[in-house]
Homo-oligomer: A and B are copies of this chain.
Amino acid sequence: MNFDFSDEQKAFGEQTRRMLDALDPIADARSTLAGQIPYSAKAWRGLARLGFQAVTIPSEHGGLGLSPLDLCTAAAEVGRSLAPVPSLSSAYVCSEAIRLFGSEAQQARWLPGIADGSIIGTWAAPERGVELMQTTVRTQFLKDSLWGAKAPVLDGVVADLAIVLAATDRAAPILTLCELNATGVHRRELESLDPSRPVAELTFEAARAEPLGTADWRAWETIQARAAVLLAFEQVGAADRALWMARDYALTRKSFGRPIGSYQAVKHKLAAVYAKNEVARAHAYYGAWAIASDADTLQLAAAGARLAATEALSFAAQENIQTHGGVGFTWESDCHLFYRRARHAALILGPTSVWKQRALTGLTEQLESTLS
């Protein structure tokens, strides 16, 4: 039994933390709120120097040739720091999609740039006003061109390329790869609840694109599940930070002559936050293991990681505000940055309901396999 990260993996997390701490990414997150920058280029470069974007990319394409398992501890630090960087869009989704499903040529064309952070990728799957399902994709891929509109697209304003889910004349939708600076692609920023994770609408009018290998809807679900685990680490990192913010405040803030952290109402609330965080961390670890070992239960494990992490960050962020009282409700306090991130993270890879369905399917399969 070794249900833990290796010393090397932990050291990578520590390195990432030190690098980010030195950069004060919260200040950059505030700059995104003020609309001054779309993301923190300096944090992104700092991550690139540590090899964050290169971890899972094969060495022949300029990467480190490691596993997503080796990225988890750093993902938690990105979450903890609230750094406004395209980690989810570029490193967890686009990079992995190309690595797992792209052709040799596509990998050679894009992965080196993604690995060194100079190219930012993303994905474009949901469309406004319609639930994202295999049968509801309206964006069309016809004769090497995309037609339609996608939103919200994470980091859509700054991304260089996107994995675009599109319908074809065949039955099921496929994944395509589209360079976003090409003609026929229009970008429009949309206001996000969490401007440190900005989103856009992408409109395609005869925009050139190509199929991503033979990736179909099933591939999309796999990509989503793997990214959900890495995002879960970000969520757990952020939830931890929110918990310790609340705890530190509860030790210093006094009410009725005592630190508020000496009241059971606050103590037990924070113990409940801690419990949710630990449950989420355990599920995230298991999701990481499922990715690394190509487990049959990947969808179930990812659903567990995503559901538990969403609940943990949601609760930690809201109770961090509550513990801070009036101060937590102000713009100057960092509390609302976590509150924003909590909802954004809860939705960007699909709402809770979708993942409960995946969990139920996985549990049903597991029960049947036990009984049979």
Interface set of A (CB-CB < 8 Å, partner B): 263-265, 268
Contact = CB atoms under 8 A, between A and B. Distances in A.
Contacts of A264: 263-265, 268
Contacts of A263: 264
A268 B264 CA distance: 9
Nearest to A264: B264
A93 to B, nearest CB: 37
A229 to B, nearest CB: 33
> How many of these chains are in the complex?
2
Nearest to A266: B264
5 contacts: A263-B264, A264-B264, A264-B265, A264-B268, A265-B268
Q: Which 5 A-B pairs have the closest CB atoms?
A: A264-B264, A264-B265, A263-B264, A265-B268, A264-B268
A268 B268 CA distance: 11
Contacts of A265: 264, 268
Nearest to A265: B264
A263 B267 CA distance: 12
Nearest to A263: B264
A268 B267 CA distance: 13
Contacts of A268: 264-265
A358 to B, nearest CB: 23
A269 to B, nearest CB: 10
A256 to B, nearest CB: 12
A263 B268 CA distance: 11
A37 B264 CA distance: 46
A265 B265 CA distance: 7
A263 B264 CA distance: 7
A315 to B, nearest CB: 17
A319 to B, nearest CB: 14
A265 B263 CA distance: 9
A161 to B, nearest CB: 45
A188 B264 CA distance: 51
A264 B264 CA distance: 5
A300 B268 CA distance: 37
A371 to B, nearest CB: 20
A226 to B, nearest CB: 36
A264 B255 CA distance: 15
A9 B263 CA distance: 43
A263 B262 CA distance: 11
A137 to B, nearest CB: 30
A286 B263 CA distance: 38
A11 to B, nearest CB: 41
A260 to B, nearest CB: 11
A31 to B, nearest CB: 40
A258 to B, nearest CB: 12
